Amino acid sequence: MTQTRGIDVAVSTVILTLRRTEDGAAVLALPLVLRTREPFAGQWALPGGWLTAVESPVDAAARTLAETTGLTPSYLEQLYAFGAVDRSPTRVVSIVYWALLRQDDVDAQSAAHRASGRAPENVRWFDLDDLPPLAFDHRAIIDYALWRLRNKVGYSRVAHGFLPAEFTLADLREAYEAILGRQLDPANFRRQVESSGTLLPTDRFRTGSHRPARLYRYNTDVELADHGPLGPDETSTR
């Protein structure tokens, strides 16, 4: 009989935000951690760490994310378990979570972490379309997270995770365009979302150099995403 070695369990998190480039374009971005030890020392990786015997996977994901990046999202959803035999020099199965965070929350949490003197020096944000070479199979994990996000945006309110409580239709369309990686026709997009009944118009407007734009909000009675029969306690930090 062949003896099998033990299997370690780790957690990692793909946390995405929507930020603007210097030319004003909205793009998806995520934080990566520069590894300081082998394997893959000196390469970038997703934030994560080991699952301990006294915590659930989602609690471990929240803990390791806070420890490595200083970020604390209100929403974590389990993405997939990655366990290819050759994905690491030792046998490691990674339970991967994903999260969406508004850019203003990223800025506020990062500023608070710097003020506390605990800001990590080996964390950097990268645009999703300009990633460096990554450790382990983390590029494949990010590609899978983007595929899942693009699928969910068609039937859930997942894009709301990038937006404030009130937003214009142009804000929402830019979020969809960044997720889908393509331009959308503004008139068609407006007709589709207004006829869907998923948005509630407010009596407020955003004013600026262009004509005033009405602010909308999502129906707060509807969950950000469908957790299925497990419910949010098993899949989310909320």
Q: Is the pLDDT of residue 231 over 80?
A: no
Q: Are residues 152 and 178 in the same domain?
A: no
Mean pLDDT of the chain: 88
- pLDDT for residue 3: 44
- pLDDT for residue 230: 52
Query: CA nearest 94: which of 64, 123, 120, 132?
Result: 64
Higher pLDDT, 204 or 234: 204
**Number of structural domains, the chain?**
2
- State pLDDT tens for residues 163-182: 999 999 999 999 999 999 99
- pLDDT for residue 238: 40
Mean pLDDT computed over 6-28: 93
Q: Are residues 165 and 61 in the same domain?
A: no
- pLDDT for residue 209: 74
- pLDDT for residue 102: 93
- pLDDT for residue 235: 47
Q: Are residues 122 and 11 in the same domain?
A: yes
Higher pLDDT, 199 or 5: 199
Instruction: Enumerate the active-site residues.
Output: 121
- State pLDDT tens for residues 81-139: 999 999 999 999 999 999 999 999 999 988 887 887 776 779 999 999 999 999 999 99
Count of alpha carbons within 13 angstroms of residue 22, beta-carbon side: 0
Of the listed ranges 15-19, 32-36, 111-115, the one predicted with least confidence: 111-115
Check which CATH number belongs to the domain holding 171 and give it: 1.10.10.10
Higher pLDDT, 223 or 100: 100
Q: Are residues 136 and 189 in the same domain?
A: no
Check which CATH number belongs to the domain holding 63 and give it: 3.90.79.10
| Domain coverage including residue 94 | 1-157
Distances in Å between the Cα of 134 and the Cα atoms of 21, 43, 44, 45, 175 are 23, 6, 5, 6, 26
Instruction: Tell which of 136, 157, 178 closes a domain.
Output: 157
**Which run of H or of E encompasses 100?**
strand 92-100
Q: Are residues 165 and 135 in the same domain?
A: no
- pLDDT for residue 228: 54
Look-up of token digits 């471990």: 60
- Confidence band, pLDDT 50/70/90 cuts, at residue 1: very low
Looking at the DSSP assignment, which residues form a beta bridge with residue 206? Answer: 213
- pLDDT for residue 197: 77
Q: Are residues 30 and 123 in the same domain?
A: yes
Q: Is the pLDDT of residue 35 over 90?
A: yes
Burial (CB count <10 Å: 0-12, 13-18, 19+), residue 203:
exposed
Q: Are residues 100 and 120 in the same domain?
A: yes
Look-up of token digits 């046998």: 91
Look-up of token digits 């793909």: 14
Q: Are residues 115 and 152 in the same domain?
A: yes
Higher pLDDT, 127 or 219: 127
What CA dihedral angle connects 72, 132, 178 and 13, to 10 degrees? -30
Of the listed ranges 28-32, 167-171, 205-209, the one predicted with least confidence: 205-209
